[in-house]
Structure 1
Amino acid sequence: MQNRRDFLKKAGIASAAATGASALAMPHVRAQSQIKWRLQTYAGPALAEHVVKPAIDAFNKVANGEMVIELYTADQLVPTGELFRAMQAGTIDAVQSDEDSMAAPVDVSVFGGYFPFATRYSLDVPVLFNQWGLKEIWEEAYSEVENVTWLSAGSWDPCHFNTVEPINSLADLKGKRVFTFPTAGKFLAQFGVVPVTIPYEDVEVAVQTGELDGIAWSGITEDYTVGWADVTNYFLTNNITGAWIGSFFANTERWNEVPDHLKALFQLCMDSSHYYRQWWYWGGEAKLRVEGTKLQLTTIPDAEWAQVEEAAAKFWDEIAAQSERSARVVKILKDYNAAMGKAGRPYRYT
C-alpha cells in the first residue's frame, strides 16, 4: 500500500510538471478584435438605399462579426466637400463618392463625376477602367497621395436637366440657376447656366423657394427616388454625359489593417454594388420616361445640341493641357469613343 501511495504521489507531481511545461510552451493567443469602419457616401438616405447600402449590408453579414462597416449618408458626418480630407486624416475610414465633388487633390479628379460627353452608356465606365487603362492611371495618381487608397470605380446614371420651366433650346438655359457638379458647372457656364453649390439635402427645398431653377445632377431614376421629381416639372432628354463615374476609397492605414480575406470580400461587395447600379439605373431611366407621371419630357433638337458636343471637344483639349496624366486620360477617351463609333450599333449610333 505504501509503495502504491508513493507511486501515485510521484505520478501526480510529474503530471503537474508536464502540464505546467506544456502551458509555458504554448504561445499566447490573443483574440482578434472586431474591425470597425465608418464609411460615408455622397448620396442622401433615399438614394443610398440603392447605390451602396445593399453591398454594405451584404459585407457585414458575410464578414461574420470580424468586421463591421457603419454607413453614413451625405453630409451626415462631414460635408461632402470635406470628405477626402476627413478620410485622409482618419476621421472617417472610407468613402463612396466621385472625386470632383469632394475636391480630391489629384489631376484625374476632373474626370470623376460627369466629365462632358466622356461616356455614352453606363457600360462604358467599367470597360474604360478594366480594359482601356483607366484603372492603372487612377492607381498611379492616388499612389502619390498620402494615406488614401483608391479601391474601385463604377458607373451611375447619365446627367440630365430637370427644371421648373421647360428647356427646348440652348437659349432656355441662359440664367438658369442649377445645382450641378463642379466640372459640369464649369462646362455649362458657357451656355449661360449659373452653377450653384449647396448641400445635397438642401436641394429640394432650394427649388421650392426659388433659389434653384433646376438640377443637372442625375438621370430620371434619381429624380424620382430622392424627391426632385416632386418639385420640378420638366426633364430634358439630352444629356451631357451617359454615366457618372464614382469610386470607393479608404484611409490607407485602416485598409492595411484589414486581413486579405476581408479585403477580397470588400472587393466582391464593391463589384456587387457596381452591378446593382447597372441594372437599377438603366431600367429606371427607360421605365420612368415611359410610365412616369411627374415630369414632362422636352428635347433640344440634335442640330442645336451639336454645339454642346463641339464645345465638349474643345473642353477636353483644355483639360488635356493641364497635365501629362490628364492628356493620357483624354487620349484614352478619344480612342475609345472612336472605336465605339467604328463598331456602330449597338455600341454607338453613327
Structure 2
Amino acid sequence: MTNRRDFLKKAGAAGAVGAVAAASSFPAPAVRAQSKIKWRLQTYAGAALAEHVIKPSIDAFNKVANGEMEIELYFADQLVPTGELFRAMQNGTIDAVQSDDDSIAAPVDISVFGGYFPFATRYSLDVPVLFNEWGLREIWEEAYSEVEGVTWLSAGAWDPCHFNTKDPINSLEDLKGKRVFTFPTAGRFLSRFGVVPVTLPWEDIEVAVQTGELDGIAWSGITEDYTVGWADVTNYFLTNNISGAWVGSYFANSDRWKELPDHLKELFKLCMDSSHYYRQYWYWGGEAKLRVFGDKLKLTTIPDAEWAKVEAEARNFWDEIAAESERNARVIKIIREYNDAMEKAGRPYRYS
C-alpha cells in the first residue's frame, strides 16, 4: 500500500504539471492515473478442494472487476499456517481469508461455533437460515466489531462432518483411542468418546494416514474424501455425523475493506454468495451420489440407540459453551429455538 500511495501521489503531481503546461493551448482536465487494487486471499482449503469451494468465485470476481482489482488466491498454509491466518490478516500480511473462525484462532468468544459445532445443524440450508433469518449475522457483526483490524463479511455452509477411517467404526467403543484429524472445537467434543484429536497441516493429512500417524479423519463429508484423495488412503466411511454442515466465513483486513469503492464491495459480496450457492448443491449432490455409486469407501453405521448418547452429550456441551460468555449463551439460545422449531415443523425440515 505504501508503494501504491506513492504512485498515486506522483501521478497526481505529474498530472498537475501537465495541466498547467497545456492550459495556454487548450483547456484539458488533469487526469490522475489509477493503479490496480491487488489483494492476497488465503483459503483454509488445499488446491484440489479450493477448485470447488472458492476458486470459481474468485476467477469470476477478477474477470468482472475489469482490471480495477485483482485477488490473488493462495491455498492452505501457502503463505502462513492456518492457525496464524487471523493475525496475519490483522497486521496486513494478507488482505482476506476464507476459513472457519475456530481454525484461524479468531480472538472472539463465538469462534467455537465456526467449523463443526456439534449437532447445531442437520442440513446445509440450516446455516444461511440461522445467519440471515434467526439473528446470527448480527451477533457475528457485533463480536468482530470489538476486534481491531478485521472485518467479518459473510458465513456459509459446507459439508457435514463424518469419520473416514482405516478400520471400521461400528460402535462408540471403536472410536476409543483413534487418532483423528479434526477441528479444534469438534476435537474438544469428540475427546469425550475417547477420540484423540490431532492437529496437522492440511497438506500432510494423506501421508499421515499412510504412515500410521493418523487412524482417520473427521473433517468433512464423503465429497471431500473423494475430491482431495483421502478416500484413497482410508477404507471406511461412518454414516453417522456430528454436524450437518461446516460453518465457514469470509474475512478481510478492515483497512483494505474500507478502501474499496462501493461497487467493488458489492461485487465481492455477490461473488461470496455465488460461492455459497455453488457449495449448497455440490456438497448435497456429492454426499448422496458417492455413498451410492462411490467404490472406494465401505459404509458403516453406529446404531441409532447408541448414537443417541452422542447427541445427548452434545446438549451438555452446549450448556458448557453457553456458560463461557453472555454472547455464547445468546447463540446457544438461538440454536436451541431453531432446532426446536424445525422438529415441530416436521418433514422435510426434520425427520424424527
> 2:32 — aligned with what?
30
In structure 2, distance between residues paired with 1:109 and 1:152: 14
Q: Does 1:263 align with 2:295?
A: no
TM-score (norm: length of structure 1): 0.93
Per-residue CA deviation, residues 163-205 of structure 1 (Å, 9 max, x unaligned), is 0000000000000000000000000001000000000000000
In structure 1, distance between residues paired with 2:51 and 2:22: 59
Q: Secondary structure at the match of 1:278?
A: helix
Deviation at 1:22, TM superposition (A): 6.0
Deviation at 1:32, TM superposition (A): 1.8
Q: Secondary structure at the match of 1:20?
A: coil
> 1:53 — aligned with what?
55
In structure 2, distance between residues paired with 1:18 and 1:249: 46
In structure 2, distance between residues paired with 1:28 and 1:338: 63
> 1:14 — aligned with what?
none
Deviation at 1:275, TM superposition (A): 0.2
> 1:217 — aligned with what?
219
In structure 1, distance between residues paired with 2:111 and 2:57: 24
Q: Secondary structure at the match of 2:24?
A: helix
Q: Secondary structure at the match of 1:224?
A: helix
Letter in 1 for 2:45: A
Structure-to-structure mapping, 1:25-174, within 5 angstroms: 28-174=30-176
Count of paired positions: 333
Q: Does 1:246 align with 2:218?
A: no
> 2:24 — aligned with what?
20
In structure 2, distance between residues paired with 1:206 and 1:21: 73
Correspondent of 2:192 among 165, 190, 203: 190
Letter in 1 for 2:135: G
Letter in 1 for 2:38: K
Q: Secondary structure at the match of 1:95?
A: strand
After superposing on structure 2, the runs of 4+ consecutive aligned residues of structure 1 that deviate more than 4 Å are: none
In structure 2, distance between residues paired with 1:186 and 1:152: 25
In structure 1, distance between residues paired with 2:31 and 2:87: 37
In structure 1, distance between residues paired with 2:303 and 2:22: 90
Deviation at 1:28, TM superposition (A): 3.1
Deviation at 1:21, TM superposition (A): 8.3
In structure 1, distance between residues paired with 2:325 and 2:44: 27
Deviation at 1:73, TM superposition (A): 0.2
Identity of aligned residues (%): 83
Per-residue CA deviation, residues 67-103 of structure 1 (Å, 9 max, x unaligned), is 0000000000000000000000000000000010110
Aligned-residue Cα RMSD (Å) equals: 1.4
Q: 5+ unaligned residues in a row in structure 2: which ranges? A: 1-20
In structure 2, distance between residues paired with 1:75 and 1:206: 17
